[in-house]
């Protein structure tokens, strides 16, 4: 829990610091969107799942090819024994676009690959998660600055249980983000 809070604070400082360094250039666009998601783990009982009820996404260009993307995670655990908040945390990604923009202030679009770090706490199963995965995808941009991002996440998740047990699990996810560049 303490490490998750430290990670969130350090990520916020990085975004604020990067924004102040880049403030000298022309106006940059910021992406705000949602990432509806459902999680089903192999160890859940039949019919159990998690739904992200606070799926906010923020993205901003750092260079002509590199962005930073932050995604909030606040999952409602749908369980046979009753529903309650299961996971909370933050996913941080750095989309690297194949085709560089002419200027850092342009809106990002096209094919990309994103290394991702995710830190969450599962309150129901009592463990912290460290997710490490790669996400190839495509950012589709429409005329009115509305964007849809499609990605495929592949990697692993490290589970650190409160009772001292640890294990690695495979991660596979389909990512769809809808939002607007402002």
Note the pTM of the prediction, 2 decimals.
0.84
CA distance 93 to 37: 16
Contact assessment for residue 148 and residue 113, using Cβ atoms and an 8 Å cutoff: no
CATH class of 2-181: mainly beta
pLDDT at 9: 58
Q: Is it the case that residue 49 has pLDDT exceeding 70?
A: yes
pLDDT exceeds cutoff 90 at 17: no
Q: What pLDDT is stored for residue 72 in this prediction?
A: 97
Q: To the nearest whole number, what is the mean pLDDT of the chain?
A: 89
> pLDDT at position 94, please?
98
pLDDT band at 61 (very low <50, low <70, confident <90, very high): very high
Q: Is the pLDDT of residue 16 over 60?
A: no
- Considering just the CA atoms, what is the radius of gyration of the chain in Å? 17
Q: CB-hemisphere CA count at 13 Å for 164?
A: 0
Cα Dmax for the chain? 54
Look at residue 114 and tell me whether its pLDDT is greater than 80: yes
Which pLDDT does position 41 carry in this prediction?
Answer: 82
Q: What is the pLDDT of residue 15?
A: 54
What's the confidence (pLDDT) of residue 102?
A: 94
Lowest average pLDDT, out of 6-10, 51-55, 100-104, goes to 6-10
pLDDT band at 39 (very low <50, low <70, confident <90, very high): confident
pLDDT at 158 over 90: yes
The model's pLDDT over 80-91, given as tens digits with 9 standing for 90+, comes to 999 999 999 999
| Residues ≥6 apart with Cβ < 8 Å to 125 | 43, 86, 161
| 3-state per-residue secondary structure call for the chain | CHHHHHHHHHHHHHHHHHHHHHCCCCCCCEEEEECCCEECCCCCCCCCEEEECCCEEEEEECCCCEEEEEEEEEEEEECCCCCEEEEEEEEEECCEECCCCCCCCCCCCEEEEEEEEEEEEECCCCEEEEEEEEEEEEEEECCCCEEEEEEEEEEEEEEEECCCCEEEEEEEEEEEEEEEEC
Confidence of residue 11 (pLDDT cuts 50, 70, 90): low
CA atoms within 13 A on the CB side of 92: 13
């Amino acid at each position: 829990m303490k490490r998750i809070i430290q990670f969130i604070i350090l990520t916020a400082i990085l975004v604020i610091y990067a924004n102040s360094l880049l403030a000298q250039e022309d106006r940059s666009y910021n992406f705000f969107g949602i990432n509806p998601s459902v999680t089903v783990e192999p160890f859940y009982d039949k019919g159990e799942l998690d739904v992200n009820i606070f799926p906010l996404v923020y993205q901003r260009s750092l260079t002509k090819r590199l962005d930073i993307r932050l995604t909030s995670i606040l999952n409602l655990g749908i369980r046979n024994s009753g529903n309650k908040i299961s996971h909370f945390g933050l996913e941080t990604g750095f989309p690297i676009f194949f085709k560089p923009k002419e200027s850092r202030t342009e809106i990002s679009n096209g094919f990309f690959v994103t290394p991702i770090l995710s830190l969450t706490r599962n309150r129901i199963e009592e463990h912290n998660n460290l997710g490490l995965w790669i996400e190839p995808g495509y950012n589709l941009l429409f005329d009115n600055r509305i964007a849809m991002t499609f990605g495929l996440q592949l990697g692993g998740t490290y589970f650190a249980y409160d009772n001292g047990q640890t294990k690695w699990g495979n991660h596979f996810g389909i990512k769809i983000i809808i939002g607007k560049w402002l």
